[in-house]
Amino acid sequence: MEELHSETPKAEPEPLSTPKIIGLTGGIGSGKSTVAKFIEEFGFPVYYSDDRAKTIVNDDEDLKIRIKALLGEKAYSTDGIYDRKFVAQKVFNNKDLLQQLNEIIHPAVRIDFENWVKKQTKYLIFKETALLFELKLNRQCYKSLLVTAEDNIRAKRVMDRDGKTYREVEAVMEKQMPEKDKIKLADYIIYNNTNLEDLKEQTEKIIFDIE
Ligand code: ATP
């Protein structure tokens, strides 16, 4: 009788094939979020690392405790919301503190991303992250796609978008990996120096060319 019950338990069905992950990146104001939206319009899913990180720091209680221990109670408002401005000011010129904060946040985002990947059914999926090359996350991707534009164009777009001064944008740019280094590392490059129509056309051409 035992035989009747000896069937091996059914495993979770394996996806037919694992999707190809394309790392989508670019410096401040390069247009990577705009490209990500176009990619979604073309029917491919995008994981927004920065947006997910913002959600995770508010939702994950363990993370909250560790961030408060590192940066103080003021890292969260009295109603428990992560204070990005306070945190940014605290870590902007403190490499060591920034690294410790990243060591708390990045593994949580990685796990969240892995769970997201498991749910995807498309053959091509995208991970938008500003730090693709800095964190060597491109190694975990099938290909990398860089959005780049001249510094003065990026600065102007961010000034218009966020009301920042040129100096404020420049200060962020100075801390990011230089565009010329990213260009060397990228598999695909979109030069976003003209208009949105051109940006969308370049995006379409590249994503449907990825093999
Ligand atoms: P950040 O890293 O700062 O979040 P990002 O790389 O995601 O920036 P976007 O937010 O996509 O950049 O673009 C920056 C701003 O420039 C946005 O307001 C966007 O609408 C605008 N923009 C992007 N590309 C173009 C373009 N080709 N023509 C006109 N405006 C553009």
Instruction: Provide the domain limits for residue 108.
Output: 49-119
Which amino acid, 120? Q
Is residue 127 located within the same domain as residue 41?
yes
Is residue 211 located within the same domain as residue 128?
yes
Q: How confident is the model at residue 92 (pLDDT cuts 50, 70, 90)?
A: confident
**Where is pLDDT greater, at 131 or 2?**
131
30 in a known ligand binding site: yes
Is residue 38 located within the same domain as residue 129?
yes
DSSP state of 10: P
Number of structural domains found in the chain: 2
- Measured distance CA(112)–CA(100) in Å, rounded: 19
Tell whether the model's pLDDT for residue 19 goes beyond 60: yes
Q: The CATH number of the domain where 193 resides is what?
A: 3.40.50.300
Beta-bridge partner residues of 25: 146
- Measured distance CA(146)–CA(4) in Å, rounded: 56
- 20: phi then psi, degrees, rounded to nearest 5: -85, 130
Is residue 66 located within the same domain as residue 149?
no
Q: How confident is the model at residue 1 (pLDDT cuts 50, 70, 90)?
A: very low
Q: What is the mean pLDDT of residues 94-111?
A: 94
Q: Which of 49, 84, 157 to mutate to test the pocket of ligand 1 (most atoms within 8 A of CB)?
A: 157
Is residue 35 located within the same domain as residue 86?
no
Q: How confident is the model at residue 10 (pLDDT cuts 50, 70, 90)?
A: low
Among 65, 85, 119, the domain boundary falls at 119
Distance from the alpha carbon of residue 171 to the mean position of ligand 1, in angstroms:
18
> Closest residue (by CA) to atom 7 of ligand 1?
33
Tell whether the model's pLDDT for residue 2 goes beyond 50: no
